[in-house]
Structure 1
Amino acid sequence: MPRQLHPGAWWLWALGCATAASRTTNVLLLLLVIAVLGYVVSARRTAAPWARAFGVFLKVAGVVLVFRTVFQIVLAPSQPGLLLFTLPEVPLPDWAAGVTLGGPVTGEAVLAAVSDGLRLATLLLCIGAANALANPKRLLAVLPAALYEVGIAVVVAITFTPQLVESVQRIRGARRLRGRPHRGPRSVIQVALPVLEDALERSLALAAAMDSRGYGRRAAVPTATRRATGVLLLGGLLGACFGVYGLLDASSSLPAALSALASGLVVCGAGLHLAGRRTVRSRYRPDPWRSPEWLTTAAGLTAAALVVVAGGIDPSAISPSVSPLAVPPFPPLAAAGILVALLPAFVTPPPTLHGAGPSHAELDAAVGTDRPQVPA
């Protein structure tokens, strides 16, 4: 039967691509990562509302790239190099030292801004690809018990925006059929009240459904366990943050960053295990983790690993200099690693087509695969 890939596999694949993008400022490699993300999303996304997230993130990434370049041109100090044009310069007070407004703009400065902006845009697109491919409701089912309530809030927040847009479109369509104005400031005020009423009805229905299923019930935990949980979670999060920062910073020591990240994750896992004792819930028919999930995860990790290895072999190819102006090199090892990230487009189950009956996984996602245990 058709099934959807485990949402955790999609997120691990996207995080691997994000790690690869964060380790380079090579424009060619970043464009290759974007092309890989776009191809995989177009090949494996479904018709669900969250599958449109990649297009939204693509627009946001374009805005980020434009803003980063414009800020570099207008506000950054001039750099030596090929002069492109000169903007009118506005004198600033002494307390704004290091910031200029206008002046000469060089090609090296613009290229550096485009490289940094493109890297940030690629990171945003990696998150957008994960949002477009992973079902947020099914992702909630695989969260640790300690994060279950937070996950519920996130899923409700994610599904609120599509429901709000759908409500606005439905009400505007009804007003248009009745010959009432549906555009302009006046219509916005008249549409706001029905939309608010619809949102309140949805909220009450959701609250009643969650209460009937026993959400919010907690088990009794000793005080010493709660204190130990807080200490472990805080220490683990600090270690994980230091490790992630070391991985994203190309100048940091890779073994130290990996050690800090691994230690933080282990300590944080122990804290989550203790914190999960407060939330007692049953789990049935969990999402399977089979060979497509392993291959998808391996593809993302391979992309990150080969880019890191290529950076150790030839750092100038992964982070090329912008002075003098030249076409950036194309490192074959890093490019091969990024191309490996295309593997999920071919080895994962194809998305469910319209008209086909829902699979067991989709039915479970619709009704909820996890429910807390309610004492009799």
Structure 2
Amino acid sequence: MRIPRELHPVAWWCWAIGLAVAATSTTNPVLLGLVVAVTCLVVLTCRSDQPWARAFRLYLWVGAAIVVIRVLFRLVLGGNSPGHVWIALPEVPLPDWAAGVSLLGPFTREEFLAGAYDGLRLAGLVIAVGAANALANPKRLMKSLPPALYEVGTAMVVAISVLPQLADSARRVRAAQRLRGGDSGRIRGLRRLVVPVLEDALERSLSLAAGMDARGYGRTCAVSAGQRRSTGALMIGGLLGVCVGVYAVLDGSAPRLMAVPMLLLGTALALAGFVVAGRRVRRTRYRPTRWQLPEFVVAASGVVVGAGAWAVQRWDYAVAHPGVTELPAVSLPSVLVVLVAVVPVWAAPPPVTTRTAAPVRADDPEVVPS
């Protein structure tokens, strides 16, 4: 039997980024539905019972809302597109300065499918990010970041933990209101719910900030002006090199010397800047999270899914981006690429929950008495 433990958060984010790349690389509804189904399966199998793990269904609702809003935009601003008319709405005339924009008008089946495909692609991206938030411990993620990314890491962790924190606050406030009784109507209950939830989330954020400040998180040691200038030069040079390299890779007419070589040079300069900037921070780690075989397998599955989806988009464009005038077709390689994302169901260790957590022994030398 495998011992329950938390997987490294970076491994979960590598897996989720691969799914996000796969979702953005296609508009095929079959493949996008398969991406969402695989994501839900892995989350339901591998998530713990922590507060951030219970916020995944909110991302599902957000994804569904994105699809509906995208179709509504097509309904309101589409119009005058050839195809099979479903709803014959009257067209609203617009002034000459709004030429090219149509308001209402006949709503066709092709417009509906185009809006649904685009919305489903964005929903797949949001659900992949939600899966990373539900599976990865945000506090361990912040601890695992390089020292040079302390400031950016703090903002990133706070940003990705907002929705799980609001979900946990809403659950606790609703439980308290049910115990007190009172009006449980949807409209009035929502009014009584919003203010306590926001207040609770703000208090928890301030407590987190105070705890980080008390522990000296992000404190830097004294550095000379020359070190600051060298660090800034390396970071700016690396950023410029990466931008030029990415532009040259995407633009086939650019000189090949400005493509991959410039991209590699910019990446090397940026990494050197990270190393130099990390020397300003002095910190110690208690029980550092180490990479083991399950972490490498989960991260590799995400890389395979992302690279495979990009290859399908490049070499089998008709499968990756089907039209709206015919039924979307799938191929065996495209389906197998998405199914690789199921590997964490067997590769990841069992999640740590209240049932699987090992009891603390009194003679444990790592237990510090309070």
TM interval, short-chain normalised: 0.7 to 0.9
Contact 1:3/1:359 (CA < 8 Å) preserved in 2?
no
Secondary structure of 2:279's partner?
Answer: helix
1:63 corresponds in structure 2 to: 65
Match of 2:4 among 2, 6, 11: 2
- Deviation of 1:357 (Å): 3.1
Residues 129 and 235 of structure 1, relative CA distance in 2, 3 Å threshold: farther
Contact 2:141 2:157 survives alignment (8 Å)? no
Shift of the 229–295 alpha-carbon distance from structure 1 to 2, 3 Å rule, reads same
Which residue is 1:313 aligned to? 315
Deviation at 1:175, TM superposition (A): 7.0
Counterpart-to-counterpart distance in 1, 2:25 and 2:202: 45
Q: 1:210 aligns with which of 181, 204, 212?
A: 212
Instruction: Report the secondary structure of 1:296's partner residue.
Output: helix
Shift of 1:115: 1.2
Q: State, as a whole percentage, how many aligned pairs show the same letter.
A: 48
Q: Distance in 2 between matches of 1:66 and 1:252?
A: 39
Q: 1:139 to 1:219 in 2, by over 3 A?
A: same
State the alpha-carbon separation in 1 of the partners of residues 311 and 206 from structure 2: 53
CA 1:299–1:11 in structure 2 vs 1: closer, same or farther (change >3 Å)?
same
The residue aligned with 2:121 is 119
1:43: how far off?
0.6
Please name the residue that 2:142 is paired with.
140
In structure 1, the residue matched to 2:355 is 355
Equivalent in the alignment of 1:334: 334
CA distance in 2, matches of 1:251, 1:63: 38
Per-residue CA distance 1:278-318 (angstroms, 9 max, x = gap):
22112242212111111111211111222222233321121
Q: Using the alignment, how far apart are the partners of 1:204 and 1:84 within structure 2? A: 52
SS of 1:341 mapped into structure 2: helix
Task: Give TM-score scaled by structure 2 length.
Answer: 0.81
Measured at CA, do residues 353 and 244 of structure 1 come closer, stay the same or move farther in structure 2, by a change above 3 Å? farther
The 5-angstrom pairing of residues 78-157 of structure 1 reads: 78-156=80-158
Q: 1:77/1:239 Cα in 2 relative to 1: closer, same or farther (>3 Å)?
A: farther
1:226 CA drift (Å): 1.8
8 A Cα contact 1:23 1:250, kept in partner: no
Match of residue 275 from structure 2:
273
Is contact 1:77–1:98 with CA below 8 Å preserved after alignment? Answer: no
Residue 74 of structure 2: aligned partner: 72
Confirm or deny: 8 A CA contact 1:78 1:109 kept in the other structure.
Answer: no
CA–CA distance in 2 between the matches of 1:78 and 1:346?
50
1:281 partner SS: coil
Q: Name the residue aligned to 2:32.
A: 30
* CA–CA separation in structure 2 for the residues paired with 1:201 and 1:22: 36
Q: Distance in 2 between matches of 1:178 and 1:162?
A: 25
Check the 8 A contact 2:235/2:273 in 1, yes or no.
yes
Name the CA distance, whole Å, in 2 between partners of 1:223 and 1:290.
40
Structure 1 residues 60-109: Cα deviation after superposition (integer angstroms, max 9, x where no partner): 11111111111112102422222222111100111111111111222222
> Structure 2 CA distance, aligned partners of 1:2 and 1:17?
25
Give the direction of change, closer, same or farther, for the CA distance of 1:71–1:159 in structure 2 (3 Å limit).
closer
Query: Cα distance 1:68–1:234, how it changes in 2: closer, same or farther (>3 A)?
Result: farther
2:335 maps to a residue whose letter is A
Does 2:247 align with 1:231?
A: no
1:21 has 2:26 as partner? no
Q: Which residue of 1 aligns with 2:343?
A: 343
SS in structure 2 of the partner of residue 338 of structure 1 = helix
After the TM superposition, which of the residue ranges 277-286 and 287-296 deviates more from structure 2?
277-286
Q: Distance in 2 between matches of 1:291 and 1:22?
A: 29
> Do residues 49 (structure 1) and 47 (structure 2) align?
no
Residues 167/343 of structure 1: CA separation in 2 closer, same or farther (3 Å cut): closer
- 1:172/1:182 contact within 8 Å kept: no
Report the CA distance between 1:220 and its aligned residue. Answer: 1.5
Change beyond 3 A, Cα 1:223–1:121: same
Tell me the equivalent position of 2:363. Answer: none
Q: Decide whether aligned partners of structure 1 residues 299 and 87 sit closer, same or farther in structure 2, where only a CA change above 3 A counts.
A: same
Q: Which of residues 35, 38, 41 in structure 2 aligns to 1:39? A: 41
Unaligned runs of 5+ in 2: 361-366
Report deviation, 1:41: 0.6
The count of aligned residue pairs is 356
Deviation at 1:164, TM superposition (A): 6.2
**Cα distance in 1, alignment partners of residues 343 and 358 from structure 2:** 26
How far apart are the structure 2 equivalents of 1:171 and 1:28?
39
Counterpart Cα distance in 1 of 2:157 and 2:359: 21
In structure 2, how many angstroms separate the alpha carbons of the residues matched to 1:276 and 1:130?
Answer: 26
Cα pair 1:44 1:133 within 8 Å, conserved: yes
How far apart, in 1, do the equivalents of 2:284 and 2:209 lie?
20
> CA-to-partner distance for each residue in 1:247-287, whole Å, 9 max, x for gaps?
9x89999x988767655443322222222122211224221
Pair 1:321–1:116, CA change in 2 (3 A): same
Q: Is the 8 A contact 1:172 1:191 kept in 2?
A: no
Moved more, 287-296 or 150-159: 150-159
